[in-house]
């Protein structure tokens, strides 16, 4: 997707509608456990290709090790998928993340430096409080909530992606190896307020490939639900499934874009 008067491509991370579940609350603290129903997208909604910059892309689903995963390590199947939504959220277990592999064109890979940014079209962080009333600015609704409020992401160069061979091969990557600005997970929230555009990678020229891991941000999720204590939509009977859990949906409203660094 080309922006006017600039060498920009965007690849839209459409994690689609992510359903997050709240089971119980104790002493005004919400306990998070899992979410259920998922909505699938075609991969064409994930990356808006630009002929000058994007050669191809693939999406890889999370792979759960039989013995469990080490803290700070992501593992993914080596078999690409066309399912682009995040899997079901669980506070206890991983398995809902996705990894996106973007191959740059010869031209893009030859550039001395690229900057990669994340951008959201959301208006509010759903946990943001009004400074005057100390009430949440925008209450959670049954649907149409901002996915930007609850996700984080990591970017990696190809040398940080390890292929583990065996009967079931898989990719492994350590969070500490991210090439994010600041070396930590990036999200759209700073000081409990939404940041519309933020650099993920600065001066990128390390390889032909850029890898992204998209994850839920547990701290943001906790902040949002703490700010929404007493919001009836969370416990509304019309939102409760047959298993007794309430479900709230989140809409994808963010994307990434890469821009050539001006000489």
Starting at the earlier edge strand, list the strands of the sheet with 18-26: 29-32, 18-26, 246-251, 145-146
pLDDT at 159: 92
pLDDT at 71: 82
pLDDT at 60: 94
pLDDT at 154: 94
Nearest CA to 44 out of 83, 74, 79 is that of: 83
Contacts of 26 (CB under 8 A, 6+ apart): none
Task: For the chain, state the CA radius of gyration.
Answer: 19
| Cβ 34 vs Cβ 241: under 8 Å | no
How far apart (Å, rounded) are the C-alpha atoms in residues 226 and 191?
Answer: 16
pTM, whole model, 2 decimals? 0.78
Q: Is 14 exposed, middle or buried (0-12, 13-18, 19+ CB in 10 A)?
A: buried
pLDDT at 175: 94
pLDDT at 125: 92
How far apart (Å, rounded) are the C-alpha atoms in residues 258 and 205?
Answer: 12
pLDDT at 213: 92
How far apart (Å, rounded) are the C-alpha atoms in residues 149 and 224?
Answer: 8
How far apart (Å, rounded) are the C-alpha atoms in residues 186 and 42?
Answer: 25
Q: What pairs with residue 197 in β-bridges?
A: 119
How far apart (Å, rounded) are the C-alpha atoms in residues 142 and 133?
Answer: 24
Owner of token pair 């409080």: 129
Q: What pairs with residue 19 in β-bridges?
A: 249
Owner of token pair 């991370």: 13
For residue 199, report the phi and psi dihedrals to the nearest 5 degrees.
-75, 135
User: What are the mean pLDDT values of the chain's consecutive 10-residue runs (263 residues total)?
Assistant: 40 34 25 28 42 80 84 92 75 80 85 81 89 90 85 92 93 94 92 88 81 90 87 70 64 78 62
pLDDT at 262: 65
In this structure, the number of other CB atoms found within 10 A of the CB of residue 263 comes to 5
pLDDT at 20: 36
């Amino acid at each position: 997707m080309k922006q006017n008067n600039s060498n920009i491509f965007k690849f839209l991370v459409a994690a689609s509608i992510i359903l997050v579940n709240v089971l119980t609350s104790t002493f005004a603290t919400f306990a998070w456990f899992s979410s259920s129903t998922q909505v699938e997208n075609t991969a064409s909604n994930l990356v808006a290709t630009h002929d000058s910059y994007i050669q191809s892309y693939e999406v890889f689903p999370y792979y759960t090790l039989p013995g469990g995963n080490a803290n700070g390590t992501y593992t993914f199947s080596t078999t690409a998928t066309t399912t682009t939504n995040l899997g079901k959220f669980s506070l206890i277990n991983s398995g809902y993340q996705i990894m996106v592999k973007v191959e740059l064109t010869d031209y893009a890979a030859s550039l001395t430096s690229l900057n990669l940014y994340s951008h959201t079209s959301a208006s509010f962080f759903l946990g943001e409080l009004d400074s005057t009333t100390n009430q949440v600015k925008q209450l959670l609704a049954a649907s149409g909530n901002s996915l930007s409020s609850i996700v984080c992401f990591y970017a990696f160069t190809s040398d940080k992606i390890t292929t583990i061979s065996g009967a079931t091969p898989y990719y492994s990557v350590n969070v500490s190896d991210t090439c994010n600005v600041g070396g930590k997970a990036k999200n759209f929230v700073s000081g409990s307020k939404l940041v519309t555009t933020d650099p993920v990678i600065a001066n990128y020229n390390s390889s032909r490939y850029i890898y992204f891991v998209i994850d839920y941000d547990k701290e943001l999720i906790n902040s949002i639900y703490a700010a929404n204590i007493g919001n009836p939509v969370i416990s509304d009977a019309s939102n409760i499934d047959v298993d007794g859990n309430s479900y709230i949906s989140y809409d994808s409203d963010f994307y990434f874009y890469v821009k050539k660094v001006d000489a």
